[in-house]
Structures are given as structure tokens and as C-alpha cells.
Amino acid sequence: MIYTVTLNPSIDYIVEVSDFNLGSLNRMTRDLKLPGGKGINVSRVLKQLGYDSTALGFLGGFTGEFIQEWLSDEEINTNFTSIKGDTRINVKLKSDQETEINASGPIITNSEANDFLTVIEQLTSKDVVILSGNQPASLPDDFYQKIILKIKALGAEFVMDTTGQTLLDSLAFHPLLVKPNHHELAEMFHVTFSSVEEMIPYGKKLIEMGASYALVSMAGDGALFFTRDNVYQSTVPKGKVKNSVGAGDSMVAGFVGTLLKENDSQLAFKTGVATGSATAFSDDLAKKSEIENLISQVTISSINN
């Protein structure tokens, strides 16, 4: 079973304003409310691809009920830990430019945190856990490490889709996959990149430090894929970008689902790129038909250096 973990989910309230003017009355042309959070996005895209998963994390209040009902309607398995606080609402303003206003999230008590860790203890060695996104400030700094230690003790595998020191610290526990974008990769190693070639040594470092696979997304420039033996680069399909939210999560879903089913890392990479692109070209997350239409447009080449 694939499990996804979203420690700080949200309702994403998407508001479209044709010509936004700061300090003035603006009237929206369209609005949309969607369940948000990186792990939740992964579960929703996995479902589109035909793969079952169970979404884990913290939910509370009327906002948490909205997310739970939405996922139930999409027939996605859930086992969320209930909290007293309200799950947050993030505002995504789409106008001439895209602006995001993200809430910090609810306070999670020690008792609620321990309840979540009890859920993790139910894993088996056949499971893969996808850990996505940042954690609420009220959780201990080492909470992700506590989760990872329990996952490894049970013989399960994990994917790490976070940033910064949290991602670097996870490498010692040998994640199946890590997925920074090129900006996050630069920040982790305190460098800047002016070319794809400059990224390659640092992507390789992720493998040397413990990851089995590493994906580095580069927006319109495609993606890099690192294995223990090789480095690959992809093209990206052509299309109009409508949505920057969830594209990276969709890439993770496409990669992990395909890898576990087909045991073919290059096919998984290709599917991941197509899935991320399909979300970028959509108002919401990618649909199966959209993904299938784009896979043939993705080409993979080996980089020898």
C-alpha cells in the first residue's frame, strides 16, 4: 500500500480577478475551493492513475470536514488524525500575476501528535510512505525524523518531498526518492546555478548521501533524474501553463505509482514528467486522459559526463 502524509493540509481557495488592484475593491470572475496539501495532491493523482493509496495527516474543524468529504467522494482511502484546531485555508489569487497567501496552520497538541505516530506503527514492510510538505510550527523540529525512524523500523520505504535541512537529514535513512526543484537544490547546498550542467554534481550528491533516486524539476526546462548509475534529462510537453500548484506533487505520484507497478525507473520518470505537466496545464490536478495524451511527448536522454 502507498501512504501519503500531509502534516499541514489546507483548503486551497482559488480566486480569479481579471485586473487586480491593490487597495481597491476587486470583484472575482471565478472562484474554486479544493483540498490542498502536497500529500493529498499525491493521493488524488494516484487515484487518477489507477493506484490506491491511504492519505494520512491531521484534520480538524469544518475545513477538515470539507477535505474529508471531498476525498471520500473521490473514493480515496483516508486515516486522518483528528485535531481540535481548524485545518487552514490558503488563498491563491490568479490575476496578471499569481499570488499566494498561505496560513500557518493549526496548533497540534502532544497528544494529537502521538495519536498520529500510533497510526504509523500500523505499517508493514510492503508499504511505501510519501512524506510531503512542511510541518506545522507546533510540531517538534524532529517530528519527520520520528516518523522516518518508525517507517524504517517496520521495514517500509519512504519518499521525501520536502526542502532544506529536513530533506538533507532524511538522506541518512535512505529514502526511495527525493524531489527538490532546481531552486531548492541550490538552496540546500548554498550555491547558484546558471546551467543544467552545474546542477548535475549536486543531484549526484543526493544519491551519494543516501537516496535511491532523485528527481530535480526545472519547470519549462524539463527535469533531471538521478540513479546510482546514470543521469537522465527529459523534455517537457507543450501546453499553456494554467496552474503551478500541485505539479511537483503530480510528478511524484506519476513516478512512484509507475515504479511500484512496472519496476522501470525510466518509464516512471517519463510518466512523472507527463503527470506534472498535465497538472500544470489544468485548473485542478491532472486527469488520467490528460496524462496519457502527454506521455508520448516526453523524451528521455542519458547525460554522460
Strands 128-132 and 2-6: parallel
Rounded average pLDDT over 83-90? 96
Distance CA 244, CA 219 (A): 9
Amino acid in position 197: E
pLDDT band at 222; cut points 50, 70, 90: confident
What is the pLDDT averaged over residues 155-164? Answer: 95
Over residues 12-36, mean pLDDT: 92
pLDDT tens track for 89-121: 999 898 888 899 999 999 999 999 999 999 999
Do 199 and 226 contact (CB within 8 A), yes or no?
no
State how far Cα 270 lies from the chain centre: 17
The Cα 29–Cα 9 span in angstroms is 26
CATH numbers and ranges of domains, the chain: 2-303 (3.40.1190.20)
Cα–Cα distance for residue pair 101/13, rounded to 1 Å: 10
**Beta strands 157-161; 30-36: pairing state:** unpaired
Dump strand ranges (E) for 27-102: 30-36, 53-59, 77-78, 81-82, 88-94, 98-101
pLDDT class for 238, splitting at 50, 70, 90?
Answer: confident
Partners of 100 in beta bridges: 92
Taking a C-beta distance cutoff of 8 angstroms, is the pair 211, 171 a contact? Answer: yes
d(CA 258, CA 189): 30
What average pLDDT does the structure give for the chain? 94
CA 71 to CA 68: how far, in whole Å? 5
Indicate which residue of 12, 127, 161, 249 is catalytic: 249
pLDDT at 283: 76
Q: Model confidence at 305, in pLDDT bands (50, 70, 90)?
A: low
- Set of cell numbers at residue 215: 528527481
Question: Over 70: is that where the pLDDT of 87 sits?
Answer: yes
Mean pLDDT, rounded, for 153-179: 96
Name which of 224, 277, 226, 225 is nearest 250 in CA terms.
277
> Can you name the residues that pair with 177 across neighbouring β-strands?
159, 213
- Of the pLDDT bands very low, low, confident and very high (cuts 50, 70, 90), residue 219 is confident
pLDDT reading at 220 higher than 80: no
273 exposed, middle or buried (CB, 10 Å; 0-12, 13-18, 19+)?
A: buried
CA pair distance 61, 39, nearest whole angstrom: 19
pLDDT tier at 301, thresholds 50, 70, 90: very high
% of the chain exceeding 70 in pLDDT: 99
CA 26, 32, 38 angle in degrees (round to 5)? Answer: 120
**Residue 144, C-beta contacts closer than 8 angstroms, at least 6 positions apart:** 131, 135, 162, 166, 169, 170
Q: Is 284 part of the annotated catalytic residue set?
A: no
Classify residue 86 by its DSSP letter: P
If you average pLDDT over residues 171-199, what whole number do you get? 94
Query: pLDDT, tens digit, for every residue of 260-292?
Result: 999 999 999 999 999 999 998 887 898 999 999
Query: What average pLDDT score do residues 79-84 get?
Result: 98
Q: Which three cell numbers stand for residue 251?
A: 510528478
